[in-house]
A and B are shown apart, each in its own frame.
Chain A
Amino acid sequence: MAARSTGSPWRTALLAPTGLAAAAGLAVLVLLVIFGPVIWGADATTADPLSLSQPPGAVHLFGTDAGGRDVLARTMTAARLSVLMALAASVFGVLCGVVVGSLPSVMPPRLGRAVVSIFNFAIAFPGLLLTIFLSVIFGQGATGALFAIGVSIIPVYARLTHTLSSSVGGRDFVAAARILGVGKVRVVARHILPNIAGPLIVNASVTAGGALIAFASLSFLGLGVQPPEFDWGRMLNEGLSKIFVNPATALAPGIAVVLAGIVFTLAGETLARATGVNPGLTHRLPRWIPRPALPAGNVLDDVSGNASGDAVLRVRNLRVAVPHADGWREPVKGVSFDVGRGEVVGIVGESGSGKSLSCLSVAGLTDFPLKVTADTIVFDGVETLRGEHRPAGVSARAVERLLGTRMAMVFQDPMSSLNPSLRVGGQVAEAGFIHGGLTRRQAWAKAVRRLADVKIPDPARRARQHPHELSGGMRQRAMIAMGLMGNPALIIADEPTTALDVTVQREVLSVLHDVQVDSAAAILLISHDIAVVTGLCSRVLVMYQGEIVEEIATADLVAGRARHPYTRALLAAVPTMDTDRSQPMATIAEVPA
Chain B
Amino acid sequence: MTTTMSALPARAPRRPATGWFAPGSWSLFAVRRGGRFLVAIVVLVTAAFLMLQLIPGDPARESVGATAPVEAVNLRRHELGLDQPLWVQYFRFWGGLLTGHPGTSITLRMPVADVIGSRFPATAELAVITLVVVLVLAIPLGLLAAALTRGGRRRGLELGFTSVTGFFSVVPEFLMGVGLVYLFAVSTQLLPVAGRGGPTSYVLPVAALSIGSTAALARIVRAEALGVLGNDYIRTARAKRMPAIRLYLRHALPNLMTSTLTIAGLFLGSLIAGTVLVESIFAWPGLGMTIVDSIRSKDYPLAQTLVVVYGAIVLGINLVVDVLLAILDPRSTIKES
Query: Are A136 and B303 touching (Cβ within 8 A)?
Result: yes
A135 to B304, CA, bound (A): 11
A120–chain B nearest beta-carbon distance, Å: 10
Cβ-based interface call for B318 (8 A): yes
Cβ-based interface call for A240 (8 A): yes
A-B contact pairs, 16 of them (CB 8 A): A124-B318, A132-B295, A136-B51, A139-B62, A139-B298, A216-B175, A247-B186, A250-B182, A251-B179, A254-B175, A254-B178, A258-B170, A261-B172, A265-B166, A419-B236, A420-B331
A124 to B44, CA, bound (A): 11
Binary contact track A232-262/B, C-beta < 8 Å → 1, others 0: 0000100010011001001100100110011
Q: Which of B175, B238, B330 has the most CB of A within 10 A?
A: B175
Q: Which residues of chain A from 90 to 142 have any CB-CB distance to chain B below 8 Å in the complex?
A: 121, 124-129, 132-133, 135-140
A367 to B14, CA, bound (A): 36
Residues of B close to A262: CB separation below 8 A: 167, 170
Query: Are A468 and B62 touching (Cβ within 8 A)?
Result: no
A482 to B255, CA, bound (A): 20
Query: Are B314 and A418 touching (Cβ within 8 A)?
Result: no
**Which of A128, A222, A416, A431 is B273 in contact with, Cβ under 8 Å?**
A128
Query: Are A247 and B241 touching (Cβ within 8 A)?
Result: no
Cβ-based interface call for A223 (8 A): yes
- Place the interface of chain B in its size category: 35 or more
Instruction: Say whether chain B's binding surface is mostly helix, strand, loop, or mixed.
Output: helix
B161–chain A nearest beta-carbon distance, Å: 12
Q: Which residues of chain A from 337 to 381 have any CB-CB distance to chain B below 8 Å in the complex?
A: 363, 365, 367-369
Binary contact track B281-307/A, C-beta < 8 Å → 1, others 0: 100000000011001101010011001
**Which of A251, A363, A420 is B233 in contact with, Cβ under 8 Å?**
A420
Q: Given A126-B314, A365-B239, are A468 and B152 also a contact pair (CB < 8 Å)?
A: no
A358–chain B nearest beta-carbon distance, Å: 16
Residues of A close to B280: CB separation below 8 A: 220-221
A427 to B247, CA, bound (A): 12
Binary contact track B90-105/A, C-beta < 8 Å → 1, others 0: 0000000000000000
Q: Given A244-B186, A258-B175, are A222 and B296 also a contact pair (CB < 8 Å)?
A: yes
A209 to B166, CA, bound (A): 14
Q: Given A132-B291, A261-B170, A281-B155, are A221 and B242 also a contact pair (CB < 8 Å)?
A: no
Residues of A close to B43: CB separation below 8 A: 121
Residues of B close to A330: CB separation below 8 A: none
Query: Are A416 and B233 touching (Cβ within 8 A)?
Result: yes
Query: Are A247 and B182 touching (Cβ within 8 A)?
Result: yes
Cβ-based interface call for B269 (8 A): yes
Query: Are B273 and A243 touching (Cβ within 8 A)?
Result: no
Task: Contacts A126-B314, A417-B232, A420-B330 known; list 17 others, CB within 8 Å.
Answer: A126-B269, A128-B273, A129-B310, A137-B51, A137-B54, A137-B55, A216-B172, A217-B277, A223-B292, A265-B170, A281-B159, A367-B150, A409-B239, A427-B236, A435-B241, A468-B330, A479-B236
A2 to B257, CA, bound (A): 35
Residues of A close to B269: CB separation below 8 A: 124-126, 129
Binary contact track A459-486/B, C-beta < 8 Å → 1, others 0: 0000000101100000000010010000
A266 to B298, CA, bound (A): 39
Residues of A close to B310: CB separation below 8 A: 129, 132-133
**Which of B162, B233, B235 is A365 in contact with, Cβ under 8 Å?**
B235
Residue of B nearest to A258 (CB): B171
Q: Which of B172, B187, B298, B303 has the most CB of A within 10 A?
A: B172
Q: Which residues of chain B from 33 to 76 have any CB-CB distance to chain A below 8 Å in the complex?
A: 40, 43, 48, 51, 54-56, 62
